[in-house]
Amino acid sequence: MRKVNKAYDRYASAVFLLIGVSFVWESRKISESSYGSNVGPDIFPMGLGIIMILLSIRLFYEVMKTKTSASEEKSNPDYKRFLLILVASLIYAYFLEDIGYVIGTFLFLLFSFQVIERGKWLVSLIVSAVFSYGVYYLFVKILEGSLPGFPSWMNLG
* Contact code string over 91-130 relative to other proteins, x by CB under 8 A: -xxx-xx---x---x--xx--xx--xx---------x---
Angstrom distances, CA of residue 55 to CA of 13, 25, 43, 60: 8, 17, 18, 9
User: Is residue 30 within a helix (H) or strand (E), and if so which, with residue range?
Assistant: none
Q: What angle do CA 9, 85, 109 make, to 5 degrees?
A: 145
**Which residue, among 47, 83, 46, 61, has the nearest Cα to 14 in the 3D structure?**
61
* Residue 65: how many other CB atoms lie within 10 Å: 7
Q: What is the nearest approach in angstroms of other proteins to the Cβ of residue 61?
A: 9
Q: Return the number of the residue (48 or 150) whose C-beta is nearest other proteins.
A: 48
Q: Candidates 147, 154, 156, 157: give the one binding other proteins (CB under 8 A).
A: 147
Terminal-to-terminal C-alpha distance of the chain: 48
Please report whether residue 153 would count as binding other proteins according to CB under 8 A: no
Per-residue mark of binding to other proteins, 14-43 (x: CB under 8 A): --x--x---x--xx--xx--xx-xxxxx-x
Rounded to whole angstroms, the Cα distance separating 150 from 140 reads 12
Which stretches of the chain bind other proteins, using CB under 8 A?
1, 4-5, 8-9, 12, 16, 19, 23, 26-27, 30-31, 34-35, 37-41, 43-45, 48-49, 51-52, 55-56, 58-59, 62, 75, 77-79, 81-82, 85-86, 89-90, 92-94, 96-97, 101, 105, 108-109, 112-113, 116-117, 127, 131-132, 135, 139, 143-147
